[in-house]
Structure 1
Amino acid sequence: MGAAEKLQEHFTYADYAKWPEDERWELIEGVAYAMAAPSRQHQKIVLKVGNQIDRYLEGKSCEVYPAPFDIRLPNHNEADNDVDTTVQPDLAVICDKNKLDDKGCRGAPDWIIEVLSPSTALKDMDKKRWLYERHGVKEYWIIHPIDRWVMVYTLKDDGQYGLPLMFGMDEPTAVGLFPELLIDWGFMQETTT
């Protein structure tokens, strides 16, 4: 099946699991979205931020996973094959080990980070923001590497994200879920040169 056909049908995880491993796709409510190869800068940010999170979480119950790592988001209790949303955020922190299996994660991670790329910026800022809110992701970070800012959404008691907080990368950013964890952006000086 070609890319054009994937963009015209409603798919589930059963379909997704059969697609070639050398192609990267996400499913959002049954719609397939092709994922472009990330830039070097994008990958450096994912690596540096992921390493800081991983060091902090050492010996704790939560774990961080970088893409490609499948996050299946069921609407109810449907079987995996019937799940129509599978995403691959750049970084996902999962604290409930019962959500983890050999396929990845079934259910909402506690914290998701997306690094914006020109080809996915609108999807990350709109579709995924609503999707993550609806599924109960407690904290959602969007990193803009060019303009050097971080947008942070935090899930409120009513199950909705409040207004986002914006942070520049001139000083470390505290993590709401782990207040003693500060993400240091010093490596960004190297990334932009």
Structure 2
Amino acid sequence: MPIPESKEKYTYADYLTWPEGERWEIIDGIPYRQAAPTWQHQSISRELLRQLSNYLLHKTCQVFAAPFDLCIPELNETDEEISNVVSQPDIAVICDESKLRKTGYFGTPELVMEITSPSTARNDKLVKFNKYEKAGVREYWIVEPEIKIVSVFTLQNNKKYGRPDVFSEEGQISVSIFPDLIIDLEPVFAGI
């Protein structure tokens, strides 16, 4: 739900003034309050984070989980002018440490994973999908706990996401940006 105050467009500078105990994201200048995640969401996030963290232990890239601000500047915006604190992505892999500052990452991550809930599915599948594609996120995963499906979108040479590769709870995903990394979905969906 948008913040109740009336303002045409909100920025990262506005975001920094909001209460710390609340989770917000700004998409195209419109703020949205984030609901508390379910235990199923947290279980999935924890296992994906574990597998990625183990793989990246001695690599130059890093993995971050929410709460973690992802600020995607457009054109020549300064940090404070950014109107796309696209999300507290559930999981983001970044490989350019020079863009880590303040409350998160100011640039385009290599990989983003969003775990849907009934209240976020539309934004994850439409609004964020388009933002991540436009920003050049090389791989975007949409994880759907209710049906135990993962859709993996990979940026093509034409700078658009192709048709997704879709995996069920028994599947294994070869991560395109790290060809020797396989994510096993069985423990990701175990127990939910």
Length-normalised TM-score, structure 1: 0.94
Deviates more, 1:126-135 or 1:167-176: 167-176
SS of the residue 1:180 aligns to: coil
- Which residue matches 1:85? 84
The answer on whether the counterparts of 2:168 and 2:185 sit within 8 Å (CA) in structure 1 is no
1:189 CA drift (Å): 5.4
1:97 CA drift (Å): 1.3
- Which residue matches 1:135? 135
Which ranges of structure 2 fall in alignment gaps of 5 or more residues?
Answer: none
1:172 CA drift (Å): 1.7
- Cα distance in 1, alignment partners of residues 181 and 188 from structure 2: 18
- Which residue matches 1:167? 167
Identity %: 43
Q: Does 1:71 align with 2:74?
A: no
1:163 CA drift (Å): 1.3
SS of the residue 1:53 aligns to: helix
Q: Deviations over 1:72-113 (max 9, x none)?
A: 110023111100000211000001112212321001100000
- Which residue matches 1:56? 55
The runs of at least 4 aligned residues of structure 1 exceeding 6 Å deviation read none
Q: Deviations over 1:1-47 (max 9, x none)?
A: x93226x6410000001100111110011011111000001001101
1:186 CA drift (Å): 2.4
- Which residue matches 1:35? 34
- Cα distance in 2, alignment partners of residues 189 and 107 from structure 1: 30
1:167 CA drift (Å): 1.1
- Cα distance in 1, alignment partners of residues 94 and 103 from structure 2: 14
Q: Does 1:121 align with 2:89?
A: no
The answer on whether the counterparts of 2:26 and 2:32 sit within 8 Å (CA) in structure 1 is yes
Which ranges of structure 1 fall in alignment gaps of 5 or more residues?
Answer: none
Q: Does 1:157 align with 2:153?
A: no
1:176 CA drift (Å): 1.1
* One-letter amino acid of the counterpart of residue 88, structure 1: Q
Length-normalised TM-score, structure 2: 0.94
- Cα distance in 1, alignment partners of residues 52 and 168 from structure 2: 19
The answer on whether the counterparts of 2:149 and 2:168 sit within 8 Å (CA) in structure 1 is yes
